[in-house]
Amino acid sequence: DPQLNQNYTFENFVEGECNRLARSAGYAVANKPGGTSFNPLMLYGDVGLGKTHLAQAIGNEIKKNLPDKLVIYVSCEKFCQQFVDSLKNNTINDFVNFYQAMDVIIMDDVHNFAGKEKTQDIFFHIFNHLHQSGKQIILTSDKAPKDLSGLEERLLSRFKWGLSADIQIPDLETRMAILKKKMYSDGIELPETVVEYVATQIDNSVRELEGAMVSLLAQSTLNKKEIDLNLAKSMLKNFVKNTHKEISMEYIQKLVCEYFEVPVEMVKSKVRKREIVQARQISMYLAKNHTKSSLKSIGNFFGGRDHSTVIYACQTVEDLIETDKKFKTYVQDIQKKLKTS
């Protein structure tokens, strides 16, 4: 029993710019486990963006094509717990042998190894054994290997051997496609306007996107109301309250652009006009301080810039806040609007 969720398949995984590399590397691995240079394959990204789904899809695909392969899916947390138990019960050898006998190991959320030195040691040996025997290792993590902290250097260096591929938040079009796919598989039809509305409002996590749709369906059943834009709007108000919805980058961008009266597209463009640059830099600064987005995804969002541009923008804004009173008021005003929204 490989512990896989049968619903997490490639067929159910919507492809977009946000996950293209991760998905295609995953597909290659699934069709040739241990036989590509993507070993280990490390999938990383923020919470709720599909890492577990994709990692398990690889496992399911392998079991479908190569049923004799021994595949195990285990969360890092469970692995750590099993290790502690095996110490207590004196069954360390069984524990190690079990994992070393696998053809494919999928370990979810390896950032949870942080601080657990003994478990890392054991996993280091299992990793080496599997890798040397040409077995496939698939890992997921909330950060790229180079940004992981609390892990031993020798283990991290192994994690960097193969391919690290990130998964980002899907763009609006992909979020709509994901919603439609879920509805289709549940046999539900929603008006296009509702799908678009929900996908526009929820732009930080696919998991939340699904959650919103579930609430919408529940509300419609409970109140015997048809699902239309009005119901979606009133539902989302509550949903947003209940889940303490985080401020999104899209929202920051909207507020900043309204404030400075610059067109939204300009912020994402390459235009270097002073007021556009200012709006862009303040947006990046606010995104860094008010969202959980990584520097990389902030840069990506604001016109496909790299993380060093974001660092530079934040530095510039911080300097100006110190030296320019008027500028400081601008930023404070926008921040107030952000918080009261």
Answer with the entry of Mg ion, ligand ADP, none that 296 interacts with (C-beta below 5 to 8 A by kind): none
Segment 19 to 78, residues that bind ligand ADP, using CB under 6 A: 19, 45, 47-53
50 is in an annotated binding site: yes
Shortest-Cβ-distance residue relative to ligand ADP? 50
Distances (CA, A) of 110 to 41, 141, 233, 266, 279: 12, 5, 38, 39, 37
Residue spans of alpha helices (H) in the chain: 20-31, 51-65, 76-88, 92-100, 117-132, 153-159, 172-186, 192-201, 206-222, 229-242, 249-260, 264-268, 274-290, 295-301, 307-323, 325-340
- Closest approach, Cβ 210 to ligand ADP, in A, equals 6
57 or 262: CB nearest Mg ion: 57
115 is in an annotated binding site: no
Segment 26 to 55, residues that bind Mg ion, using CB under 5 A: 51-52
| Residue burial 144-155, b: 16+ Cβ < 10 Å; e: rest | bbeebeebeeeb
Segment 163 to 182, residues that bind ligand ADP, using CB under 6 A: 178
- Contact status: 13 vs ligand ADP (CB under 6 A): yes
| CA 71 to the chain's CA centroid | 24
- Contact status: 121 vs ligand ADP (CB under 6 A): no
178 or 276: CB nearest ligand ADP: 178
Answer with the entry of Mg ion, ligand ADP, none that 50 interacts with (C-beta below 5 to 8 A by kind): ligand ADP
36 or 75: CB nearest Mg ion: 75
Q: Over 122-182, what HEC string results?
A: HHHHHHHHHHHCCCEEEEEECCCHHHCCCCCHHHHHHHCCCEEEECCCCCHHHHHHHHHHH
Residue of the chain from 14, 76, 165, 179 that contacts ligand ADP (CB under 6 A): 14
Query: Coil, strand, or helix at residue 225?
Result: coil
- Contact status: 112 vs Mg ion (CB under 5 A): no
| The pairing of beta strand 41-44 with beta strand 71-75 | unpaired
- Closest approach, Cβ 15 to ligand ADP, in A, equals 7
Distances (CA, A) of 181 to 13, 42, 178: 9, 26, 5
Two tokens, residue 244: 């303490």
237 is in an annotated binding site: no
Residue 168 to residue 183: CA distance in whole angstroms: 22
- Closest approach, Cβ 180 to ligand ADP, in A, equals 10
Answer with the entry of ligand ADP, Mg ion, none that 201 interacts with (C-beta below 5 to 8 A by kind): none
Residue of the chain from 32, 207, 290, 307 that contacts ligand ADP (CB under 6 A): 207
Number of Cβ within 10 Å of residue 200's Cβ equals: 13
207 or 268: CB nearest ligand ADP: 207
12 or 86: CB nearest ligand ADP: 12
Which residues belong to the annotated binding site?
A: 48, 50-52
Residues that bind Mg ion (CB under 5 A): 51-52
Residues that bind ligand ADP (CB under 6 A): 12-14, 19, 45, 47-53, 178, 206-207, 210
Which residues belong to the annotated binding site for ATP?
A: 48, 50-52
